[in-house]
Amino acid sequence: MSRVSRTDGTALLTIEDLAVSFSTRRGTVEAVRGISLTVAKSEILGVVGESGSGKSVTAFSVMRLLDRAGRITRGTIRFRGQDITRLGASDLRRLRGAEMSMIFQNPRASLNPIRPVGDQISDALRAHRDMSRAAARARTLDLLKSVLIREPEKRFDAYPHELSGGMCQRVMMAMAMACEPDLLIADEPTTGLDVTTQKTVMDQLSAMVRERGMAMILITHDLGLASMYCDRVAVMEQGLMVETAAPATLFSAPKHAYTKRLVAASPTPTSTVESLSPDGAYRSPPLKSEATPTAPLLTVDNLVKRFDGGAPAVDGVSFAIGAGESLGLVGESGSGKSTISRIVCRLIDATSGAIRFAGRNIGAIPARGFHQASERADIQIVFQDPGDSLNPRFSAFDSIADPLRRLKGISDNQSLRRRALDCAARCGLPADLIDRFPHQLSGGQRARVGIARAIAAQPKLLILDEPTAALDVSVQAVILQLLDRLRREEGMAYLFVSHDLNVIRMMCERTIVLKEGRVVEQGPSDQLFARPSADYTRDLISAIPHFDPGNSRVRV
């Protein structure tokens, strides 16, 4: 059964030449600049794009949920022929929830924290239907069951904080489905969820939508996700719709230059660091030749970390990294990977276990005094969110100069400036940005400052804690290439922590898979990804959404 025949062709939603602008202190900004699209009945349309492309603004316009600064300046949004842009508040209230509903990013934040989740679903029901309290409760329990929440009677009275992120998103799904709308808008519904949770949530969401013959707009930054669950994918860039096509066409023959770049930059099971930019714009330099090390640079032996009284966050982990080697640490949230990276970086102390660096047991030096240890300069770290890892009151120069002052003892301004500019240049940060503050830099530029700061002290071991998790995929591509080049040129060893298996596979020679503080599997990356021996690793690998031409999307 071909995909198109399932949709009956009549348009449920038609957007024509929509433009939305926001008034800001810099004047008016056009977030959406004239886009047109249609969603047919029971069609799943993917809208992909990077941050600032206007995809969420489009969704909010359809729901007429734009905040006060935003205004629809031109165009029409027709839902079943009715122009939504002209509806009054009471008509909109009737429409929202009953005929079209929305699932937001960050499910926990979109639920009311002081009301049981069951009541919140009942509220949605009773707002649109004349229903008794008992009938609403019964219907809510059915809904909770339909999103596969076990023991719905018990969960009905749970508060959002008592549920996991995946569970909260299921509650949101139940709420959005409550009045059986014809159109569901899912705005990054699985961002922030673990990859295995993402898979179950998405599988369920698409199954429910298909089952009920609803139409859905899936907004995501993840091309792989869009390709797996959508009939058609629309690509947005800077407020414009650059290309709309079926996933197979979009991936095998992208037409627009931006789509080509985006497709190339999205990591797939076969992509390499070089293939992330189209047309071979990046070539990995040869590894800096190192004398074959006699002993590993870092040995971690039976590491245990227990936070006050709880179950151990890290439970007997051992590994070694050779000089110039890149080791990947992969696992879902709660696997202990970030804790390990902080212990190895000597920012927190382990409960027990040894950390040997270049022959010395640095685990014996307490973390609070480690800033004086000679190894401080040798072990540096790049943090996850480049926005939150830069001091808002430090310019890029101040941030990069700080380790030079502290760890290299450079104090005269001229050499500090020269060294900082050199670090910035090696990280591809233009010299004229060096005096800017973090909020004046883009995400990618901030990431470069964070990396420049970490390599300023010329470390032998660089710990990368999800260095690209908060970045757009095209920015991630250039940062990964930068990290690849730096490692090869400077001969640093990497401890690369990530939840993204494709990234780890590209960047690391060896990989360790963690689950609940224990090592599940470890080995050379190629081997581990091609022939995983542990079930957990297999689950992780199969849960990564990606476009797979072999499985050309005929599962109905």
Q: Give the residues lining the site for other proteins (CB under 8 A).
A: 25-26, 342, 345, 347, 368, 371-372, 376-377, 379-381, 383-385, 388-394, 399, 402-403, 406-407, 437, 439-440, 450, 453-454, 457
As measured in angstroms, the least distance from the Cβ of 378 to other proteins is 11
As measured in angstroms, the least distance from the Cβ of 241 to other proteins is 28
As measured in angstroms, the least distance from the Cβ of 367 to other proteins is 8
Q: What values do phi and psi take at 427, rounded to 5?
A: -95, 10
Q: Which of 320/377 has CB closer to other proteins?
A: 377
Provide the token pair at 49. 């794009």
Q: Which of 22/536 has CB closer to other proteins?
A: 22
Residue keyed to tokens 């690509």: 235
DSSP 534: S
As measured in angstroms, the least distance from the Cβ of 524 to other proteins is 29
474 bridge partner residues = none
Q: Which of 224/363 has CB closer to other proteins?
A: 363
Q: Which of 14/458 has CB closer to other proteins?
A: 458
What CA–CA distance (Å, rounded) separates 521 from 514? 7
Whether residue 108 contacts residue 160, with contact meaning beta carbons closer than 8 Å, is answered with yes
Q: Which of 209/344 has CB closer to other proteins?
A: 344
Q: Which of 240/367 has CB closer to other proteins?
A: 367
Say if strands 27-40 and 11-24 run parallel, antiparallel, or are unpaired: antiparallel
Please give the radius of gyration of the chain, using alpha carbons only, rounded to the nearest integer: 25
Q: Which of 129/371 has CB closer to other proteins?
A: 371
As measured in angstroms, the least distance from the Cβ of 469 to other proteins is 12
What CA–CA distance (Å, rounded) separates 231 from 307? 46
As measured in angstroms, the least distance from the Cβ of 238 to other proteins is 18
Q: Which of 390/478 has CB closer to other proteins?
A: 390
**DSSP line for 369-386:** GGGGSTTGGGEEEE-S-T
With vertex at residue 467, the alpha carbon angle to CA 464 and CA 468, rounded to the nearest 5 degrees, is 150
As measured in angstroms, the least distance from the Cβ of 408 to other proteins is 9
Q: Which of 100, 61, 479 is nearest to 239 (CA)?
A: 61
Compute the half-sphere exposure of residue 218: CA atoms within 13 Å on the CB side of its CA: 29
As measured in angstroms, the least distance from the Cβ of 112 to other proteins is 23
Q: Which of 9/309 has CB closer to other proteins?
A: 309
| Beta carbons within 8 Å of 98's beta carbon, 6+ residues apart | 128, 179, 181
**DSSP line for 424-488:** HHHTT--GGGTT--GGGS-HHHHHHHHHHHHHHT--SEEEEESTTTTS-HHHHHHHHHHHHHHHH
Q: Which of 66, 63, 53 is nearest to 22 (CA)?
A: 66
As measured in angstroms, the least distance from the Cβ of 379 to other proteins is 8
